């Protein structure tokens, strides 16, 4: 459930008319709902009531300081994958003791920074990474608490580009070699093995791949314990999907997911960490855009809006479906539109043949479920400015990232002396 709905004939974000924000902020912009975010956080935590549990928000989904701070205030930890994300999490007030550092290859500098902060855990993904971490930690007189990310060779049955748990994927260490690698780690200075980690993919709409991977992990933990390792942490990654198309897809509820997790791994007595990203922020955000032109092609009608693939790349990159809704309610018959942006690529298409009421230049539309992997994946392609982000709370809103000036973008380039 989210807090973007129709009131008085138009879409509201909580208690604010989206049209009114658009008038003040200009379009396009991302709009997030505090209530929705907090609700998703609480629903997820409730699914693990009674268990030693830490939610580590996957900052990559939406790393705006205001979003992280809203979750930090609820008690959230963070899953980060770069020094930049780690800095963002710390700056938003997440304690280092609640931060796990994932990612397929951390540099020496990144390791040193994280060790200096005394983060809760490194999720190590390879032997070279382990050896480097041991060296950096020893040089600093520190001990890195680690889990290995296990690649369980399970098909997450999601889009190939966001599927990470099969042996052909670059992630983690093969589960078949895990015992040997844990044994090596136990002998290394500067390393303290504390757990097991995995993440098999994103936007999973079925519990079975999770369950299959978690069962594999249970066997592994039992083996590791019998080898003498003290395994007290299970980081089970993120990945639970959301209903982008509310008519079609009904992913499992967090409560069902929590029951499944507890029934499979509960008896191990480990602290459970989950790293959800999309589930918390995906439906807590919309992209608000204005129709520039309506263009009648040979046999298709194009709705050209002022948002484009550089603002929200998911449809172009993953063929992702996002609901598109006219901001003003209308009872006129719908017509099929190809909803496109102004960027010079045919791939700059949000939807084809989408049924919408008759729209005109200046009308507003909302692209739903845009809170996760939206703003964070945006770019300035076509020298388009990054778009503002706005956080709504009740009848208040704040701009949490302003629209930059053109000078801010062009000024990043420097003319070499020989051209001056």
Q: Minimum CB separation from ligand LLP for residue 341, in Å? A: 17
Give the residue, chosen from 61, 144, 185, 220, that forms a contact with ligand LLP under the rule CB under 6 A.
61
Q: How far apart are CA 189 and CA 99, in angstroms?
A: 22
Q: Minimum CB separation from ligand LLP for residue 78, in Å? A: 11
Name the DSSP letter for residue 163.
Answer: B
Q: Answer yes or no: are the C-beta atoms of 79 and 57 closer than 8 Å.
A: yes
CA atoms within 13 A on the CB side of 78: 33
- C-beta closer to ligand LLP: residue 162 or 186: 162
Piece of the chain touching ligand LLP by CB under 6 A; list 22-30, 133-141, 196-204, 398-406: 196-204
CB-count burial class (<10 Å; 0-12, 13-18, 19+) for 416: exposed
- C-beta closer to ligand LLP: residue 162 or 399: 162
Piece of the chain touching ligand LLP by CB under 6 A; list 64-72, 105-113, 195-203, 342-350: 195-203
Q: Distances from the Cα of 71 to the Cαs of 51, 64, 74, 100, 255, in angstroms?
A: 20, 11, 5, 16, 19
Residue of 117, 135, 126 whose CA lies nearest to 80: 117
Q: How far apart are CA 82 and CA 89, in angstroms?
A: 11
Tell me, residue by residue from 4 to 43, as one string, x for binding to ligand LLP by CB under 6 A and - for no binding: ----------------------------------------
202 binds ligand LLP (CB under 6 A): yes
Give the residue, chosen from 58, 71, 144, 156, that forms a contact with ligand LLP under the rule CB under 6 A.
58
314 binds ligand LLP (CB under 6 A): yes
- C-beta closer to ligand LLP: residue 216 or 393: 216
Choose the catalytic residue: 31, 45, 270, 344: 344
- C-beta closer to ligand LLP: residue 337 or 373: 373
Binding residues for ligand LLP, how many (CB under 6 A)?
21
- C-beta closer to ligand LLP: residue 40 or 199: 199
Residue ranges in 247-276 that form contacts with ligand LLP under rule CB under 6 A? 275-276
Tell me whether the omega of the peptide bond preceding residue 28 falls within 30 degrees of 0, making it cis. yes
Residue 45 known to be catalytic: no
- C-beta closer to ligand LLP: residue 276 or 341: 276
Q: How far apart are CA 354 and CA 338, in angstroms?
A: 6
239 binds ligand LLP (CB under 6 A): yes
203 binds ligand LLP (CB under 6 A): yes
H/E stretch holding 325 reads strand 324-326
Strands 285-296 and 301-305: antiparallel
Neighbours of 170 (CB within 10 A): 10
Q: CA 152: distance to chain centroid?
A: 22
- C-beta closer to ligand LLP: residue 190 or 238: 238
279 binds ligand LLP (CB under 6 A): yes
Q: How far apart are CA 21 and CA 390, in angstroms?
A: 9
Q: Minimum CB separation from ligand LLP for residue 58, in Å? A: 3
The tokens describing 316, both together, are 């172009």
Residue ranges in 127-166 that form contacts with ligand LLP under rule CB under 6 A? 162
Helices (H) and strands (E) in the chain, counts: 12, 21
Q: Which residues are catalytic?
A: 344
Report the interface residues with ligand LLP, using CB under 6 A: 58, 60-61, 79, 102, 162, 199, 202-203, 237-239, 275-279, 314, 318, 372-373
């Amino acid at each position: 459930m989210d807090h973007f709905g129709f009131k008085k004939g138009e879409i509201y974000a909580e208690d604010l008319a989206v049209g009114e924000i658009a008038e003040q902020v200009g379009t396009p912009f991302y709009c997030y709902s505090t209530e929705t975010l907090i609700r998703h956080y609480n629903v997820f935590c409730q699914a693990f009531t009674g268990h030693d549990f830490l939610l580590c928000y996957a900052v990559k989904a939406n790393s705006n300081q205001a979003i992280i701070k809203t979750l930090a205030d609820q008690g959230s930890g963070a899953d980060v994958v770069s020094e930049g994300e780690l800095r963002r999490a710390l700056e938003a007030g997440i304690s280092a003791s609640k931060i796990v550092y994932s990612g397929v290859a951390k540099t020496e500098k990144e390791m040193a920074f994280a060790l200096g902060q005394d983060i809760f855990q490194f999720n190590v993904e390879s032997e070279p990474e382990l050896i480097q971490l041991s060296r950096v930690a020893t040089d600093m007189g520190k001990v890195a608490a680690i889990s290995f990310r296990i690649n369980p060779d399970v098909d997450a049955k999601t889009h190939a580009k966001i599927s990470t748990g099969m042996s052909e994927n670059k992630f983690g260490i093969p589960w078949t070699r895990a015992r040997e690698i844990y044994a090596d780690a136990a002998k290394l200075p500067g390393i303290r093995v504390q757990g097991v980690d995995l993440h098999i993919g994103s936007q999973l709409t079925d519990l079975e791949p999770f369950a299959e991977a978690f069962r594999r992990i249970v066997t592994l933990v039992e083996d590791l314990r019998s080898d003498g390792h003290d395994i007290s942490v299970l980081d089970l990654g993120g990945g639970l999907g959301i209903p982008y198309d509310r008519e079609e897809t009904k992913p499992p509820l967090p409560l069902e997911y929590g029951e499944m997790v507890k029934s499979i791994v509960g008896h191990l007595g480990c602290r459970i960490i989950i790293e959800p990203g999309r589930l918390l922020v995906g439906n807590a955000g919309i992209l608000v855009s204005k129709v520039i032109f309506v263009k009648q092609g040979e046999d298709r009608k194009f709705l050209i809006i002022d948002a484009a693939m550089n603002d929200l790349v998911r449809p172009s990159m993953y063929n992702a479906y996002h609901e598109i809704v006219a901001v003003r309610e209308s009872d006129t018959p719908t017509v099929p539109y190809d909803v496109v942006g102004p960027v010079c690529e045919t791939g700059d298409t949000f939807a084809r043949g989408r049924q919408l009421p008759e729209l005109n230049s200046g009308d507003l539309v909302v692209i739903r479920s845009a809170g996760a992997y939206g703003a964070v994946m945006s770019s300035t392609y076509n020298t388009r400015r990054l778009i503002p982000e706005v956080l709504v709370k009740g009848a208040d809103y704040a701009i949490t990232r302003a629209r930059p000036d053109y000078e801010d973008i062009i000024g990043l380039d420097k003319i070499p002396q020989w051209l001056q």
